[in-house]
Structures are given as C-alpha cells and as structure tokens.
Structure 1
Amino acid sequence: MSAWITVLALSGVHSGMVSILPDPAAAGPMNTDPAAADAMSADPMDSPTPYATALRQFAARDTVRMIVPGHSGDPSASPELAEFFGAQLLRLDVAPLVSGIDLGLYTPYERSVELAAEAWGATRSWFLTNGSSQANRIAALALGFFGSRDQPVVAQRSTHSSFIDGMIIAGLDAVFVQPSIDVELGIAHGVSPARLSAALDRTPRAKAAYVVSPSYFGATPDVPALAAVAHAHGVPLVVDAAWGAHYGFHPELPPSPVALGTDGPGAGHGADLVIMSTHKLGGSLTQSAMLHLGHGAYAEALEPLVDRAFVLEQSTSESALLLASLDLARHQLQTGAARIGASLAAAEQLRAAIRERGRFRIASDAFGVAAAGDPDADVAAVDPSRVSIDVGAGGLLGHAVRSVMLRDHGIQFELSTDACVLAIVGPGSHPDLGRIVDALHSLRADDPEVATSGFVRVPLPEPGEKRMLVRDATFAAATVVPAAQAVGRVSADSLAAYPPGIPNVMPGEVITAETVEFLQHVAAAPTGFVRGAVDPAVETLRVVAE
C-alpha cells in the first residue's frame, strides 16, 4: 500500500477538497503521548485551533524527516537543542508546505487565519512571523502604492521606527502630526480627532492617516472618532495597535480597533488596517504578530495591495512554532475572559497597594481620560493591564530603578523613563504583588545609584525641520561627524531611544542640539539604547554629505 492515502474521516471534505495525510499504518508506530494520540483522532478543520492541531498530528507521527530544518525533528540528532528546549519543540518545528497543514486549496492554516479574523472583527487577517515590525513594513508598502506615489501619509510622530523603515523601503512621504506629550514624565499619548483633522486640512493631498493606539503606557485615543475624521477627509485610517492585541476580549478592556464603532461621533467607523503585535499582550510567542483588515470601501481597496506586500515580506521558511502560537493565543483569548479578568484585578491591586503606601504615584491617574465625543481627547481610555509607576515622585530615577529591580530583586519591568517604570500584567498572569511592592519601596532616595539627587532631567525633544524625504536622506551620500558638528545638519539615520523605539530624529530631519542631548542622555542610562546610532554612546552621527 502507498505510504500516502486519502483520509476522509480524519481530514474531512471542505470546499470540495480532500486533505492528504500520511497513512498511519505505513509510517510506523505513533508517538505514545496521550494528548498527541487524542489529537490524531480529531479533524483539524473542526478543531478550535486547526493549525496547531494539524501540526500536533504531524509531530506525533514516527516520521523519518529527510528535510530541513537540519535537526530533522529528531531529538537524538540535536541533543543540546532537545535538552534546552525539550524534544517536543523539535518535533513541532515542521517545515512549510505540508499537505494537511498548510498545503492545499483549503487548509488548517487558512481556517486558523479565518478564525483570527472572526475573533478580532476583521474582514481578513494575516499571520506574521517577524513581529509587528513586519506588519508596519507591509502597511507602508501597501500605502506606497495606494493612490499616487507622491501623495503623503499623515502619520503620528510617535510611530514605531519600523514604520519609518517601511517608508524608506516604499519611498513613502509623510506629514507628521504630534501626539500630546507629558514632558514631565516623558510619555507620549495619542492624537486627538481635532489634531488629526487639522493635519489633514493642512494636507489636502494626503492618501491615508496613520495613528498609534494604545501607546506604550496604555493611553488609548478615540479610534472610531479618528476613523470618522479620516473618512470625512476621504482617506483610510491605519492603526498601529501593536500593544492592543488583548483589546475586545474582556468588558473592562477597550474594544478592538478593528471593530466598527457603534456610539459617539465615530459611529459606523473603524480602522481600515490594524497592526497587532499579538505576542505582546495576546499571549503568542515572541516575534509572532497579525495584520487585520477592517470593513468598508477603504479596506477593500487596500486588500490587494496589502496581500502583495505580504508576499514580498513573508518568509519562505515561516516558523510553524510561531504560527501555531498565534492559533493557540487567539483561542486562549476567546475563551479566557475569566483569566483576563483575574489579571486585570491583580493589576488594580498593584496600583492600589502603591497608592496606599503614598511614596510613589500611578502615572496613568493623571492621564486625563476624556468623555466620549470630545474632539480634543487624546486619551479616551487607559489599558488597565498597564501599571505605570511615577518613581520620580519618590526621589528615584526610573532607568536606575528598572536596572536595580532586575539585578537585585529579580523583578523585570517593561520599560522606564527618567521618571517612570512600567509594569505589565499580561492576560492570565498572576505576579507576586507583595514582592513587587516591597522591593520597590526598599529602594532609598539617599542611595546615589537610584536617587534623582543631582540628576538633570532631559525632556523629550521637538523634531527638527524636515528638509528631505526619508528615503532620499537614507540613501544619500553621507558622512559621520562628531555629534556637536552634526547639529544643524540633515540626519541620514533614523535614531530612536529604545524602548519604546519611537524615532527622535528621522532621515531627512535637521538634527537639533536638544535631540543630541536627549539621545546621549538615554545612551548613558543604565538600560538605555539608541537604535540606529553609529556608536553606542551617540558620540558621532551620520549626516547627509554637503
């Protein structure tokens, strides 16, 4: 009998197609793992996690893999990998284009993508294995060919550097609109509908609007109202919701930006394209992400462009591990309201404990959440899973606190500014709240390692004048000069304090003295890093040759 047979009972018939899977009898003994054995008896297309189920079925087989990856799914072939990660991970590390998984006219992979679109309220979704950075580049490429090539995008200035990378690749021009900024805490919020409207009024040839929601610190603008503004100006709205993958899966969370607005001035409007870093707060593995298409004529026009850009950006060796994690994380979010609620309660308990001690403040308490429908609202909601702690109020330096808390107390915060540290309580997470609060309050304001005494705070700089297109400046003849000599020159690099990775100077912008001071200040911080810098200390800068 052939080692390959048509399996009707296992794979089922979908859209007139029959999936082809290896014949169990011909392939040898099955894996004895009970969970894997149960999975083998199920039809992946009927499973709540079709791709992950099909992958588990394949991994459970005793298959001789004469194929990449080099470990061949055999723990004995790569004992160090097996010891480090576990044997099952190697078995699940399956190469693409396997019948019954992702090869065929209607596959478990495609069904999983469909389920993701349904879960987030999209008309279509794409699974990505290079993070929301890949999604941002895809969005920029699609926008580059949406409308005329010389039309700019009106984009939030605090966009992630990966969108700027996409602009460079696509040759896309942008007119930037500033979000509101808390200079004291070093936090950028959102763009208000009024500010976006004014920017679009000033840019009558704009072909799209691009905003961020939520911010790194959880500030969430009124996306339906922003969509209404964009649509009233005849352009689609693209939302970088990298930090909002969990939105819409619990009543205490804001709705998914993909879903259409139902109340207020944005009724009937939603984002047309949404970038989502699913691994951040959606529970999938690091570097996995999704891209979601909204509803309506703008989304319909963008779809073929996004699809082509996806093919250009897609790896031909996508990780099955990352793809399966997206499938599983989606189902976990859909069925995990109780777990999410428990984590949100833990985050609130942490905020309450910090408020009760009185030494530090919760930064988001001062974000000034506006009422629905306020055109000047830069913050319409705050993600309750984020706990932003103003340690500067207690005499401590945020960057130093983040470093010392990890080194001495084994507590890792997401990020820091001069004044704040940010804790994230992910869906299903149950951190030791007492340990966190006690360790934080054990840090003394008279300890020179963490104290703000004698420390000079450097505010976020205003961007310099734009003199060249991003792409032109990036590929122009350039020279490296001392930082002091770079002031007044045009930057050839995108330079972003990391985290959060928001460009402080872009290619084509004039470098200011304030920007140099800020970047050098960040580079000198205990956890500081400047993405795109010529040297770690930012002592030199690359500028367009004169």
Structure 2
Amino acid sequence: MNTTTAPSVPVRRPAPAQLDAPYAEALRSYTAMDWMRLNVPGHGAASERFGALADLVGAASLRLDVPPLLEGIDLETNSPLDRALVLAAEAWGARRTWFLTNGASQGNRIATVTARALGETLVVQRSVHSSVIDGLVLSGLRAAFVRPSIDSALGIAHGVTATELADTLTAHPEAAAAYVVTPSYFGAVADVRGLADVAHDAGIPLIVDEAWGAHFGFHPDLPANALTLGADIVVSSTHKLGGSLTQSAMLHLADGPFADTLEPLIQRAFHLTQSTSASALLLASLDTARHTLVNDTDALSASLAAADSMRAAVRAAGRFSVVSDGFGRFPDIVASDPLRVAIDTRSGGVSGHQARWQLMKEDRILVEVATDAAIVAVVGAGSAPDHDRFITALHALPADLGTPTEPPRLRLPSPGPVRMTTREAFFAPSRTVPAAEAVGRISADTLAAYPPGIPNVLPGEVITAELIDFFQRTTAAPTGHVRGAAGPDLATLRVVDATSHG
C-alpha cells in the first residue's frame, strides 16, 4: 500500500464562524415560538392529536418538521440556510456545497446529469453505486468502463489506478468526465491526486463518489478528503459516517479549473432532483454534523481508538483476519479508512452472511455489510461503541454454521458483454423470463448484490450463467438479496425483448 500519495490531515483550529450551526439554531428558535400552524405538514406539530406519530418520533421532531420557504430560516438572502451551506463549503474545502435530502444517490444522479452537458461519454469505474447507473439512464450518457482491481479470494472490488484511468481516457478522447469511487465499501482509499491529474491532463473534470468518506479531513489520523486532492465534484453521504440523519447528504464543487462551467449546471440538476418539500430535520442534521465534525476532534479520536481496538483484538485472537491488512497487495490502494473494520470471516470457518445473521439474531449486533467471505463493521465519526461486546460475540460464533473451515469462496463474477447503452436497454420493450432462459439475453435491469449495491449486471449487458449462479447463491444466504430483481428468489429476470433488438 503506497501511503506516500495519501496525505494525512494536519491539526487545525476551526474558524470562529464554524462554532455556529446557523440553520439548526434558527430552526430551534423558530419552532420554540407559539405558532398556530395552518400550513403543511398536516400534523401541525399537534402531538396531542397525532399521538401515534409523536410516540414514534417524539414531540420535538414534530415541532422541528417545518416546510421550506419560511422567513428567518431559508427565505431571505443570507438566510440561516445560506450561511449553513457556506460553512459546509468552508469545512470541506469546497467552492460551493449543496445539502441533499435524497441521499448520496441524489448526488450521483446530479453529477451524472451534469456530465451530460459536457459530452456524450462518461468514463466510469465499473464498481460504482447503482445510483450512478440510474444517472446513466436519466442522462442518456454512454459509459466507458474502467475496471477496478479485484481481490478474487474475498470477492471484493477496490479502486482504479491513475494508469488504468489514463489508458481508458486515451481510448475514449471524447469523454466528458471521469467518475471514480473512493473509499470503497471495505475502506480502500484510491490515489485521488493521481486520478485528478490524469483527468485534468485529458481536459475533463474528475467526479468522486466519496459517499463513505464524509469524515475524511477532520482528524490528523484520517485520510485527506477528495476535494483537497484535486477532485472537481464530490458526492458525500454525510449520514453514513458523518453523523447526520439517514437520507441526508452533500454535494461539493471544488474551486478548480471547471468550476465556472459546472456550478450553473449542478444548480439546475439540483433543482431537477431535489424535493420542493425538503425535510428541515434532514437539513438541520447536516448543519449539526458539520459543526460536530469541525469542532469535536476528541470525539473522533475516541471513534478511531474504538476501531483500532477492534482490529487489534481480531489480530490477537488469531481466528479471523483483518481485510485491510492485505491492502498492500493492490497498487490502486494508497490508504485505508480507519473507521472501517472489515473482517475475513471465512478464515474462521464462517461465511460473512452467516456471521451477520448470527450476530444480529443472537447478539443484537448489526454490522453494515456482509458478503460471502466477510463482514464490515463501521464506527461512526463521534461514536464509541462497546468494542468488547462485538469482539466477544464475533469469536463466539460457532464454526459449524453450515460452512466448513476452508469452503470454496463465492467469487465476484465478471460482467457480460455490452450490447446496448444503459438507457436504450432500460427503455426498450422487455419481458420477464425464467432465470435459465435469461442466459445469453440482454438485461433490462440493473442487478446488484446488496449490500453493497454495486451493480453486477447493467441494462444493456448480457446475462451469463456465472452471474445467475452468483445471484441465486447470494439470495440463498440469510441476509443477502439482489436489488433490482424481478422477484426475490431470482427465479425470473427481466430481459430486452428479442424482437425489439435484432
């Protein structure tokens, strides 16, 4: 693992303005007044009338649940929302930041639609999230894929090197932009500076899906964030590890060579995708998360210590192994996210799916991701979980959960050949056929073993027998399913009607 290209973050003092959370504070002040609410939402914060809802989310949440376009919160120029957005941009080192209330998936769709204004081909890391593929459908962009490195033993996709990106761009001089993912679901961090240099040398912007790296840059023991390393557009899933509420995210625009062109395009795409009834709760949680990340370094230190203790205990016990310990074998990985604790469970005689199921069922412990070979536990920025409870439960897992000590691993299948563009296949006449009959046919759907939601089949790609076997074995596992499938058991698949595609 080449750590020389993954700079850490120096200790810094926050600017005085970063001590404020203007939107969250304005929302609290506004809703503390004795309002007679004859507007939406329909519950009107009347917890005595909407008792079931108040019991579910709390009376305070009902009061804070206000609509947009309120004076004193988000209506006037330099409103509290405007100031919160400026503070977020400053915190992440952006020229401009947008708060998103439909997750990083919305950010990926915005970035992809924006890229369509720059050209007709998007160079895309093949292991992008399915929301980027959704963006290809919406935008009509053609995709030229650059393959990530694969840990074939664990069935894990990592990242791409600058050399691999350069080769793909050379083959596609018409490219509008390059789209990569870092960090990966398993915490592998790519060489963003090298990737940005390659994209810029080709005259195009670099878009980074940094969904799992919202916390990067806020502690000296964390990797630097993608904006500071030259990325032009960065999608940040703030709710994942950054401490905001589920479904809240941010999109950042760097003050780089493409900013003047990209800013108005992003703003238009934002209006196209953002709800006109954006949740005040989600927006306030983003403002609060930024405030905490900037100002509470001690809490982040506690989170890092908890994750380090988990990895140390796994190594010391000797039964299981830590996935990131093997990252040095891959030239695309320059660092790892220390808040991700990825564990090879098969080395201890348990499949990842079985381990996740057992931990949930018997110990009431939830982990983020399970594959056939591994689980990933995450420690949120600012949280400090009981790592002893997790380690004790992990090592109490019986080795006879239907998995022999050295079972054949479920390897990540290769995608089939591309026969149509994503958009063409998605909107083409289609039909549902038995899985066995789908072999050799063109998929009309995006199919992704979930989690982590990385597409294994795209609309326009040929479905292979290897892929069907992979999906069916995934759905047979206690916690596995396939996003986008026509049915939960993968008995049928949706394919392009042969009569519509000669």
Q: TM-score range by the shorter chain?
A: over 0.9
Is contact 2:353-2:477 (8 Å) kept?
yes
Shift of residue 46, structure 1, vs aligned partner: 9.7
Match of 1:528 among 475, 480, 485: 480
Residue 5 of structure 2 corresponds to none
Is contact 1:66-1:72 (8 Å) kept?
yes
TM-score by length of 2: 0.94
Is contact 2:248-2:283 (8 Å) kept?
yes
Shift of residue 457, structure 1, vs aligned partner: 2.8
Partners of 1:530 and 1:293 lie apart in 2 by 33
Match of 2:202 among 223, 233, 243: 233
What pairs up with 1:50-199 in 2 under 5 angstroms?
A: 50-147=22-119, 151-199=120-168
Is contact 1:369-1:381 (8 Å) kept?
no
Deviation readout 1:30-85 (Å, 9 max, x if unpaired): xxxxxxxxxxxxxxx99711100110011100110001111101211211111222
Count of residue pairs the alignment pairs up:
482
Deviation readout 1:228-269 (Å, 9 max, x if unpaired): 01001111100000000000000110111111x3xxxxxxxx
Is contact 1:146-1:302 (8 Å) kept?
no
Q: Helix, strand or coil for the counterpart of 1:368?
A: helix
Q: CA 1:104 to 1:518, structure 2 compared with 1: closer, same or farther past 3 Å? A: same
Partners of 2:24 and 2:401 lie apart in 1 by 51
Is contact 1:82-1:90 (8 Å) kept?
yes
Match of 1:306 among 257, 262, 266: 266
| Amino acid aligned to 1:243 | W
Deviation readout 1:494-522 (Å, 9 max, x if unpaired): 00111110000000011111111111111
Partners of 2:438 and 2:259 lie apart in 1 by 42
Q: Helix, strand or coil for the counterpart of 1:502?
A: coil
What pairs up with 1:348-387 in 2 under 5 angstroms?
A: 348-368=308-328, 377-387=331-341
Shift of residue 456, structure 1, vs aligned partner: 4.3
Shift of residue 414, structure 1, vs aligned partner: 0.7
Which stretch shows the higher mean deviation, 425-434 or 154-163?
425-434
The Cα RMSD (Å) is 1.3
Q: Helix, strand or coil for the counterpart of 2:376?
A: strand
Partners of 1:276 and 1:155 lie apart in 2 by 18
Is contact 2:178-2:205 (8 Å) kept?
yes
Is contact 2:47-2:53 (8 Å) kept?
yes
What pairs up with 1:337-356 in 2 under 5 angstroms?
A: 337-356=297-316
Residue 222 of structure 1 corresponds to 191
Deviation readout 1:183-230 (Å, 9 max, x if unpaired): 111111111111111111111111110000100011000101100010
Which stretch shows the higher mean deviation, 473-482 or 428-437?
428-437
Q: Helix, strand or coil for the counterpart of 1:389?
A: strand
Residue 488 of structure 1 corresponds to 440
What pairs up with 1:394-473 in 2 under 5 angstroms?
A: 394-448=348-402, 451-452=403-404, 456-473=408-425
Residue 293 of structure 2 corresponds to 333
Match of 1:539 among 478, 491, 502: 491
Q: CA 1:536 to 1:204, structure 2 compared with 1: closer, same or farther past 3 Å? A: same
Q: Which has the higher contact order (CA 8 A, sep 6+)?
A: 2
Residue 390 of structure 1 corresponds to 344
Q: Helix, strand or coil for the counterpart of 2:212?
A: coil
Shift of residue 162, structure 1, vs aligned partner: 0.4
Which stretch shows the higher mean deviation, 75-84 or 381-390?
75-84
Residue 267 of structure 1 corresponds to none
Is residue 2:241 matched to residue 1:277? no
Shift of residue 311, structure 1, vs aligned partner: 0.4
Q: Helix, strand or coil for the counterpart of 1:479?
A: strand
Which runs of structure 1 show a deviation greater than 2 angstroms over 4 or more consecutive aligned residues? 451-458
Residue 23 of structure 1 corresponds to none
Residue 501 of structure 1 corresponds to 453
Residue 257 of structure 2 corresponds to 297
Is contact 1:209-1:237 (8 Å) kept?
yes
Partners of 2:442 and 2:400 lie apart in 1 by 42
Partners of 1:413 and 1:446 lie apart in 2 by 21
Residue 251 of structure 1 corresponds to 220
| Amino acid aligned to 2:296 | G
| Amino acid aligned to 1:196 | L
Shift of residue 429, structure 1, vs aligned partner: 1.4
Q: Helix, strand or coil for the counterpart of 1:367?
A: helix
Which stretch shows the higher mean deviation, 295-304 or 205-214?
295-304
Q: Helix, strand or coil for the counterpart of 2:277?
A: coil
Residue 7 of structure 1 corresponds to none
Partners of 2:18 and 2:182 lie apart in 1 by 34
Q: Helix, strand or coil for the counterpart of 1:254?
A: coil
Is residue 2:174 matched to residue 1:202? no
Q: CA 1:47 to 1:363, structure 2 compared with 1: closer, same or farther past 3 Å? A: closer
Partners of 1:443 and 1:46 lie apart in 2 by 45
Partners of 1:459 and 1:305 lie apart in 2 by 40
Partners of 1:444 and 1:428 lie apart in 2 by 32
- Extract unaligned runs of 5+ from structure 1: 1-44, 262-269, 371-376
Is contact 1:350-1:433 (8 Å) kept?
yes
Which stretch shows the higher mean deviation, 79-88 or 105-114?
79-88
Partners of 2:321 and 2:405 lie apart in 1 by 18
Partners of 1:501 and 1:187 lie apart in 2 by 12
Partners of 2:453 and 2:337 lie apart in 1 by 20
TM-score by length of 1: 0.87
Q: CA 1:130 to 1:299, structure 2 compared with 1: closer, same or farther past 3 Å? A: same
| Amino acid aligned to 1:508 | G
Q: Helix, strand or coil for the counterpart of 2:328?
A: coil
Residue 24 of structure 1 corresponds to none
Partners of 2:462 and 2:435 lie apart in 1 by 13
Partners of 2:333 and 2:144 lie apart in 1 by 22
